[in-house]
Structure 1
Amino acid sequence: MLLRSLAAICAGAVALYTSHAFAAAPRPVVVELFTSQGCSSCPPADRYLSELSDTRSDVLPLAFHVTYWNQLGWKDPFSFDAADARQAQYVRRFGDFAYTPEMVIDGKVAVVGSNRPAARSAIDDAKSTSVTSATVDAIRDGSEISVSIGPGRGRARILLVGYDARHVTPVGRGENSGETLTESNIVRSFTSIGEWAGAPLQLRANAITGEHMAVLLEASDGAIVGAARVTDRQRAPAR
């Protein structure tokens, strides 16, 4: 009887430790930049996002190119409606309005994307205060993505993001006419692939458009509570 009790206590302790280990696991801070090639204020923010991509593995930068600048002389080739919808979600949450360049950190705080001190401060705050509900691991094998999510508390929507590492675009018209823009981590597709409810979960999804991919866990209040770059069995992890 005593041995059984000790075994139960040990098992409980291991389970508790495992749960806390998953909750405490580090993850990248997710930085979403809403931008457009038709916006003259955006290139400084685009350059900053490129620097984050090149120098900080603890940050997952994602550039969402919106469509609402397209009617002003230059159609951004990377703009898509899902970027507008994503920003509209934040507009409702923050009680703000849509603008570019807007940078949202971990789904919680919005700053002007070209304001480097404000962005750095928000990223540093997120690193020290962000919540990780569960660890996320994802591997791409050909056209299939395998996602593993650890145990934790709460619920979250599982989002798959496809993005290209870098593009260089000569702009022929509009506010940036004559400029050649170098932009990084450009989101090409964005979709929900399931729900996580606290229990360990494994799922598979088809690869989506984009050279690289990432998986995000988004809580009901919009906060990012889990994130991981998708690694490729044949290649090194994406930036």
Structure 2
Amino acid sequence: MMPRLLASLTLLVTLPVAAATSRPVVVELFTSQGCSSCPPADAYLSDLTQNRTDVLPLAFHVTYWNNLGWKDPFSLDLATQRQATYAQRFGDGSYTPEMVVDGATGLVGSDRSSAEIAIKNAKDAGLTAAPVSAVRKGNVITVSVGAGSGNARVVLVGYDPQHVTTVGRGENGGRTLKESNIVRSYQLIGQWSGKSVVFNPQVPIGEKGAVLLEAPDGHIVGAARVTDES
């Protein structure tokens, strides 16, 4: 009986650790089609999208380049506002391309080596308040957040996997840009305060979806891609 009991206790101890390390690291890129420095960062985000399942890359297209020769068709006020919130926290102002890893670390988006270090550090930290799952059935998504400690905003993000755009004017005039995981919508669907909870939002604007848990300090403490019901 004793070996069996010890094995059970070991399983109980190790399960939360496995759950805490399984969620993807959220990588946000603040970018614009009007910025000539952004294509290398866009290419890096595309590489992460195509080659990494342990990372959830999201491209937020900002609006403050729109009056400089080219209006980015995917720019959103919410992207500009979100970056401004990070700028206030980090004290570095808003610039493109900027990459933010797990809501905790800001860096130049085309600096692959620094980004890889930040992603590794986030994975090693394993900062996860609760498990999250999101399943789409028809026009409704069932978002489940498990029990844990703390509290967080529950956010639903809609994004398109890829777009190819021929830029007519501005700093990238004449270039054809291939961009990945472009955010099309971002909405608060509820609050989580430590107890298991389920939300049933409508499918957001965007071909794909993801759910984020955002702690009061802005750190990402949970994340999941939306999957289709099998």
Match of 1:133 among 129, 136, 143: 129
Deviation of 1:130 (Å): 3.3
Partner Cα distance (2:161, 2:212) in 1:
18
| Residues 25, 135 of structure 1: 8 Å contact kept | no
Residues 115-134 of structure 1: per-residue CA shift (max 9 Å, x gap):
11111111111111131110
Cα distance, 1:18–1:129 mapped onto 2, change above 3 Å: closer
Counterpart residue number, 2:208: 212
Query: Within 5 A, what are the aligned runs for 1:46-195?
Result: 46-195=42-191
What SS does the corresponding residue of 1:61 show, helix, strand or coil? strand
What SS does the corresponding residue of 2:100 show, helix, strand or coil? strand
| Residues 23, 133 of structure 1: 8 Å contact kept | no
Deviation of 1:20 (Å): 3.0
What SS does the corresponding residue of 1:205 show, helix, strand or coil? coil
What SS does the corresponding residue of 1:230 show, helix, strand or coil? strand
Deviation of 1:23 (Å): 5.5
What SS does the corresponding residue of 1:191 show, helix, strand or coil? strand
Q: Identical aligned pairs, as a percentage?
A: 62
Partner Cα distance (2:32, 2:68) in 1:
11
| Residues 29, 126 of structure 1: 8 Å contact kept | yes
Deviation of 1:18 (Å): 9.1
| Residues 20, 126 of structure 2: 8 Å contact kept | no
- Normalized against structure 1, the TM-score is what? 0.89
- Normalized against structure 2, the TM-score is what? 0.93
Deviation of 1:24 (Å): 2.5
5+ residue gaps, structure 2: 1-8
Counterpart residue number, 1:38: 34
5+ residue gaps, structure 1: 1-12, 235-239
The AA in structure 2 aligned to 1:164 is: D
Partner Cα distance (1:61, 1:224) in 2:
13
Deviation of 1:82 (Å): 0.5
What SS does the corresponding residue of 1:84 show, helix, strand or coil? helix
Partner Cα distance (2:43, 2:137) in 1:
32
Partner Cα distance (2:228, 2:16) in 1:
28
Provide the alpha-carbon RMSD of the alignment. Answer: 2.0
Match of 1:197 among 193, 197, 205: 193
| Residues 65, 83 of structure 1: 8 Å contact kept | yes
What SS does the corresponding residue of 2:107 show, helix, strand or coil? strand
Match of 2:218 among 222, 228, 238: 222
Cα distance, 1:185–1:209 mapped onto 2, change above 3 Å: same
Deviation of 1:143 (Å): 1.0
Partner Cα distance (1:19, 1:85) in 2:
38
Cα distance, 1:148–1:22 mapped onto 2, change above 3 Å: farther
Runs of 4+ in 1 over 6 A off after TM superposition: none
| Residues 66, 81 of structure 1: 8 Å contact kept | yes
Deviation of 1:92 (Å): 1.1
The AA in structure 2 aligned to 1:158 is: V
| Residues 140, 231 of structure 1: 8 Å contact kept | yes
The AA in structure 2 aligned to 1:95 is: G
